[in-house]
Amino acid sequence: MDQDRAQQRIKELKDLLQQANKAYYNNAQPFMSDKEFDEKLKELEALENEFNIHDPNSPTKRVGGETSSQFDTVQHPVPLLSLDNTYNEEELNDFDKRVQKILEHNDYEYLAELKFDGASLRLRYENGELVLGATRGDGQKGDDITKNVKTIQDIPLQLTGKFPPVVEVRGEAFMEGEAFARLNQKREEEGLSTFANPRNSTAGSLKMQDPKAVAQRPIRFFAFDLLFDEEDNSLTQWKITELIKEFGLPVNEYPRVCSSMDEVHEVIKEWDKLRHKLSYETDGVVIKINQTHLREQLGSTSKFPRWAIAYKFEAEQASTAINNITLQVGRLGTITPVAELEPVLLAGTTVKRASLHNEDEIHRKDIRIGDTVIVEKAGEIIPQVISVVNPDRKNRSAEFEFPKACPACNAELIKYEGEVAWRCVNPECPPQIRIKIEHFAARDALDIEGLGESVVDQLVTEGLISNYADLYDLKLEQIIPLERMAEKSAQNLIDGIDKSKEQPFEKVLYALGIRFVGKTVAKDLAEAFVTLDKLKSATEEELLAVDSIGPRIAASVIDFFRNEINQKIIGRLVTAGLQFKAEEKELASNVLEGKKIVMTGTLPTLSRNEAKQLIEKHGGKTASSVSKNTDFVLAGESAGSKLTKAQDLGITVLDEDAFLKMINE
């Protein structure tokens, strides 16, 4: 290859890898596999070396992420580097040889630990209290997502044991496979694009602006390293693992000290089998020098430490044929295409079906009936079609055309602007009726005991109910003849339906099944509007004034209450006696009535939650970002860009003492 062609190829690779990095780290929507990324990165590195091209901004020199303008930026005191990857034993042996060459001896051990496919986090504890949670970002600086990190139940707000005054924790946020599957199912129902894997769902969740929404995501955490202000050369990575547990932080149960690279190879083989039995996704093994005092001697490149490497497992895949593409109707009318597969064994289970997610995904991968496809399990849980084998072959079937009518009720399908899913909006669509009633009766909604899937199915099949308002007209004599029903169980169901009338307004709102209105949003709407009549007549502007409500939720709420069928059903629920008025909270004072307050930094004595409760108790509301509508900013130590913006806009800034004085007066 001559210089001109090399320059052109280098530019192509840089552009492609930078796009892939942005899709992976910032948008949580990757378009290439890890292995393909690593192969192209190595090709770029080889070309740069061969033609003596040095670019400090090249993907070969930088960690892939970027900081976000939506969060304050924090500088990492010690860079958060990524790890060099390998996919074979020979390259691992080469790594060991390089270590020996630099150290000029082989008097060291390795610590092998599972590599979690999640999102890297940096935590900072001062005097045992969590004061900062940040993303890796570009390795030098990251996003301050402390509020979001504090919602992760695995992460303690206060350390235990004999901790030093300051300790930095490195770890990985992740999602377990089944929780990831439930999250994707919910997103499909809401017409949103699904996450490709648990790693992307975790990264996307951590970058959400509303901590209450983050708290609803099933994020877990494992810590794997500690950094102290004062270095202790006697520490080993194994001892650090023990300290992590002593401090009350979660740590994975599988680290292993290995005296040689041969032992490392044995551990990799063992864990390659083990990984299919774990509840979370692991995509490899991290191998580190156990003696931490050797790390400085081994050093780092601009991107990778020379004292650690990651061995990546091959994703388990299988090829099979698509016999048909069918359509499923979800609770909110979302139409999900499903590949009906020739049964194939994958990761220990027989796979017969795989979600194709939406029309765009089918066309992007050019999936057609009769194709032989590669199937992979995302998070070892959800089968997904990765690609088509030999898409250029002759005699392929025609491109799949998405139907324009609902497969269940024949109503016309619609696609909302900005969404990827087609949707049936007929409130009386049979599959939706069953699922909506099940949702209405669920524990988190109206909690109607005895009204499970099989009972709902019988009630609908027998024509006794066609929507959830019909539940309140049911009579004992109608229920007793149903299969597996007797007088006692029928009476229990009638009693459960009657008791549901006592559930508070926020639960009734959630039970209605309004698109995008989950438990948190339902609670916020109930508190903001207090009565059904005020909510029904709310304008878009009034809805957007509620902190957790964005344009999409506001439009969905307005559309729901405008629908004539929904209006009739809600009228019947009002007549039945359900609670459509929130209990008004007693305020300590109205000194902050109508005020919008933004908090930033760490307050001396109040936690964020305590400060928020005080603001609400005195009639105020908190907001997440500073704007011209902000009344004042409550600022603590390490306040960032929000404080700067408030000063630029001339907004009053209060410290904790001034704030407490204001509300106490």
Task: Tell me how crowded residue 52 is: count the other CB atoms within 10 A of its CB.
Answer: 6
Distance CA 369, CA 322 (A): 6
177, 379 Cβ separation under 8 angstroms? yes
Residue whose tokens read 């081994």: 298
Distance of CA 352 to the CA centre of its chain: 27
DSSP designation for 304: -
* Dihedral sign (CA 403, 404, 408, 410): negative
| Structure tokens that stand for 549 in this block | 């409500």
Q: Which helix (H) or strand (E) holds 542?
A: helix 540-544
* Dihedral sign (CA 642, 644, 649, 655): positive
Q: Which helix (H) or strand (E) holds 528?
A: helix 519-529
Beta strand pairing call for 219-228 and 85-86? unpaired
| Structure tokens that stand for 404 in this block | 């324009």
Task: State the Cα angle at 80 between 75 and 84, rounded to 5°.
Answer: 150
Distance CA 633, CA 592 (A): 13
Paired strand residues for 120: 172
Paired strand residues for 129: 126, 158
The CA-to-CA distance between both ends of the chain, in Å, stands at 78
Cite the active site residues: 115
Burial (CB count within 10 angstroms: exposed 0-12, middle 13-18, buried 19+), residue 181 = middle
Residue whose tokens read 């990095």: 21
Closest CA to 623 of 542, 543, 545: 545
358, 337 Cβ separation under 8 angstroms? yes
| Structure tokens that stand for 129 in this block | 């209290």
| H-only helix segments in 114-197 | 146-149, 177-189
Rg from Cα positions in the chain: 28
Residue whose tokens read 């009228």: 571
